[in-house]
Amino acid sequence: MSVIIDRRNLGTRSSANQDRLQRRVRGRVKAAVEKLARRRSLGDMLDTEQPIAIPTKDLHEPSFRRDMRDAAWEQVLPGNKEFRRGDRISKPHGGDTGDGGGSDGAGASDGLGDDEIAIVLSADEFLSVLFEGLELPNLRQTRTEDIQLDQWRRAGFVKEGSPSRMHIGRTMRTARARRMALRSRKKGELEELVRQAETLEEEIRIRQGYGEDTSIERFRLDEIREEIRVLERKIKAIPFIDESDLRFAHIDQQPRPVTSAVIFCVMDVSGSMGDIEKDLAKRFFLLLYLFIHRQYRSVDIVFIKHHGEAAECTEQEFFGAKEGGGTLVSPALELVEEIMADRYPAEHWNIYLAQASDGDNAQDDNRLVQERALALLPHLRNMFYLEVNQDQESALLRLYKSIAQDFPELMIARARRTEDIYPLFRALFTPRAGVPHG
């Protein structure tokens, strides 16, 4: 009469409830995510699932209930030790009679003690809340041909083409097929003739043994031998490769969207950039990386540090290194150009450039920076400039602002404190709204 069923593979069915719960508290979740993003390191956040505390009062489910606090009640309790009938027990101070109202069962089940519940977001949910409503200001994306790359792709084989595209494998295979087809009939005939010749030779030998005349047979044998010779010649004459065998790889032009991106992170590591400044830059770069990563299948990052001169480096060197000396920005931009030309041609990659600096550039370098920036910008999807920890706008920032007049894809922001980064990030990527251009 009993049936036993294994339901374990059915998985949980809580996701619909979980969805609706998150929907219900989306304001809270968003605020909590933003708070996390401001304070903590993003790397840590993505490693683990993020529990977000939601006060249960937000999720209160009201109902008609009794309020027994100031009411008369009587309750039966277990575990009497020394009480006798008529004993009086002083009420606890503070007017609150505690759980005294327990004759109402509803109070007990609701008062589970905790006033918060945790909503757990996966890394992906976390990011989607974090970046909700934000868009890449991919100004050049409007021209669709830009994100598409015309690419030569193989498209079968054809009989004509330039010798450089001749497909050896295919050609040889066709030739072999032809040879086999032409030969097989002649080979059959040849074998037949050889057999006849052997039979005749045998007969001639026998007749000679009996001393009989063999002139007719000899005549016939000569004929057959002639035929064999002709056939063998014909078989040999089948060309190893005929012109008709030639096959050429066909290629065709097909558009393909570019699905990979590269971010050049350029940071000033001169003496004036301390840990705080680097941390600001790091947060910004990481947010940018995560955000851009949601748009593309794969994202490369190139780290370039610079002071007087620029060098490509590892992430550790990038954020760890503290070097001294004066600051020149233009060599860094120059290096970006070189690396692009070398490894990331603009027609194959979506290129982003993010630069963080305190803006303390050598005065006469700014003109070079302008040249470089103007040369670079047409190849970039976006360029970001984050100026950290400055009371006043630097000359570099003012220069960038003037360039941004003509190139809105150059975006500029300033940050002083860790908490500034996420809001300014939101401001940068909120569509239409306050992109701080000038």
Partner 1 sequence: MAESDTLLFTDNEWTFERIAVVTERIAEIAESELALDTYPNQLEVITAEQMLDAYASTGLPMYYPHWSFGKQRAIETGQYRRGEMGLAYELVINSNPCISYLMEENTMVMQTLVIAHAAFGHNAFFKNNTFFQQWTDAEGILDYLEFGKSYIAHCEEQYGIDAVSDVIDAAHALNRNGIDRARRPHKLSTREEDRQRRERAEFIEQHLSEIWRTVPGAAEAAITAQEDRFPGEPQENLIYFIEKNAPTLETWKREILRIVRKIAQYLYPQGQTKIMNEGFACFVHYHVMHSLHARGLIGDGALLEFYASHTAVTFQPDFDSRRYSGMNPYALGFAIFQDIKRVCLNPADEDRRWFAFAGDPDWLKQIHFAMREFRDESFVLQYLSPKVMRDLHLFALANDPKADAFEVTAVHDDQGYQYLRSALARQIAESARSPDIEVVAVNRWGDRHLHLKKMDSYPLDQAEAKRTLDHVARLWGYDVHLDAGDVVMIARAKASPP
Residues in touch with partner 1 (CB under 8 A): 1-8, 10-14, 16-24, 54, 56, 59-68, 70-81, 83-91, 97, 100, 102-106, 108, 112, 114, 117-119
Q: What is the dihedral of CA 341, 347, 352, 355, to 10 degrees?
A: 30
Q: Rounded to the nearest whole angstrom, what is the least distance from the CB of residue 3 to partner 1 in the complex? A: 5
3-state per-residue secondary structure call for 339-363: HHHHHCCCCCCEEEEEEEECCCCCH
State the CB neighbour count (10 A cutoff) for residue 372: 20
State which residue, 101 or 331, has the beta carbon closest to partner 1. Answer: 101
With respect to partner 1, which residue has the nearer C-beta, 28 or 250? 28
Distance CA 214, CA 250 (A): 64
Answer for the pair 284, 425: CB distance below 8 angstroms, yes or no: yes
Minimum CB separation from partner 1 for residue 94, in Å?
Answer: 13
Burial class (CB in 10 A: 0-12, 13-18, 19+), 380: buried
Q: What is the DSSP letter of 92?
A: P
Q: Which is nearer to partner 1, 95 or 211 (CB)?
A: 95
CB 426 within 8 A of CB 288: no
Distance in angstroms (rounded) separating the CA atoms of residues 31 and 29:
5
Secondary structure of 206-264 in HEC code, one letter for each residue:
HHHHHCCCCHHHHHHHHHHHHHHHHHHHHHHHCCCCCHHHCCEEEEEEEEEECCEEEEE
In the complex, minimum distance from the CB of residue 83 to partner 1, in angstroms, rounded to a whole number: 5
**Smallest distance, Å, CB 47 to partner 1?**
18
Residue 388: how many CB atoms within 10 A of its CB? Answer: 27
Q: How far is the CB of 61 from partner 1 (least distance, A)?
A: 6
Question: Comparing C-alpha atoms, which of 167, 148, 147, 149 is closest to residue 158?
Answer: 167
Nearer to partner 1, 100 or 308 (CB): 100
Identity of the residue, 66 or 195, whose beta carbon is nearer to partner 1 in the bound complex: 66
CB 111, min distance to partner 1, A: 10
Instruction: State the nearest-atom distance from the C-beta of 154 to partner 1, in Å.
Output: 46
Q: Which is nearer to partner 1, 2 or 144 (CB)?
A: 2
Pick from 269, 411, 268: which is nearest to 352 by CA? 411
36 burial class (0-12, 13-18, 19+ CB within 10 angstroms)? buried
As given in the structure block, the two tokens for residue 256 are 């393909």
The least CB distance from residue 112 to partner 1, in Å, is: 6
Which residue, 82 or 145, has its beta carbon nearer to partner 1? 82
* Nearest residue (CB) to partner 1, 55 versus 255: 55
